Structure 1
């Protein structure tokens, strides 16, 4: 059951990326081009994803087990480390150079 849920979740995520335009390198690069012809449409996609994810995390924090009966594994650390900052920077640079959403 867990593998089927993972497959369905992955497919839904991929379709969401395609529908939102995040799989289109020109659209992604237009969003990242703040000094040129900036395309803010992907910002709305990100804000929507953050809102949905925040609501899901609020509910998940109150649960001991997932809907599939597995233990909840929510990160406990909120520390911002140099490793996190550097990893985020590498992620952003790679995203900007390639123009593909890494999702």
Structure 2
């Protein structure tokens, strides 16, 4: 390994992260939050109207986001060999469709339906003055913590049973 590479990446063998990484992520989050607020998708009642087939504005918002994201990923992976901010190579992360994906997606959908808002929009909802959404955000954190506890408990019991055999 050359001395130059060891200096830029701390000897890890990976490209150094751009100093623009955090400012660009912050700016992207601000654009995302502004877009959710502007499109009214940060209001749970609008999302609930969509889920009850009364307002289809969410389809257009999500469709527009999918087109922009899809175009960006299509072009970036063909024109660039690495992600500009992280320096990581473009790779696909394939996730098998298993029971955990199906059950987790179902639980996520029920939570979205009950609270009337998805996690990203919940944070944006704070920006439009919806302070009661803090209950949903607290529930998301509690649910994520419980899932982590459950998975750690399950992994420990599996390791114990395997080592005893």
Q: TM-score, normalised by structure 2?
A: 0.55
| RMSD, aligned α-carbons | 1.8
Q: CA deviation at 1:28?
A: 0.5
Matched, 1:17 2:33: no
Partner of 1:57: 73
Matched, 1:89 2:99: no
Is the 8 Å Cα contact of residues 60 and 72 (structure 1) preserved in structure 2?
A: no
When residues 78 and 14 of structure 1 are mapped into structure 2, their CA distance, relative to the original with a 3 A threshold, is: same
Please identify the structure whose Cα radius of gyration is greater: 2
Shift of 1:97: 0.5
Greater RCO between the two (CA within 8 Å, min separation 6)? 1
Q: State the alpha-carbon separation in 1 of the partners of residues 86 and 112 from structure 2.
A: 35
What secondary structure does 1:49 align onto? helix
Check the 8 A contact 2:41/2:47 in 1, yes or no. yes
Deviation readout 1:32-71 (Å, 9 max, x if unpaired): 013xxx1111111111111111111212332321222521
Aligned pairs for 1:1-103 (under 5 A) are: 1-34=20-53, 38-62=54-78, 63-68=80-85, 70-77=87-94, 79-103=96-120
5+ residue gaps in structure 1? none
Distance (Å, rounded) in 2 between the aligned partners of 1:96 and 1:84: 18
Larger relative helix fraction: 2
Q: Structure 2: which 5+ runs fail to align?
A: 1-19, 121-165
Distance 1:43 1:13, change over 3 A: same
Between Structure 1 and Structure 2, how many residues are aligned?
100
* Higher mean C-alpha deviation, range 73-82 or range 83-92: 73-82
SS of residue paired to 1:29: helix
Judge conservation of contact 2:81–2:89 (CA < 8 Å) in 1: yes
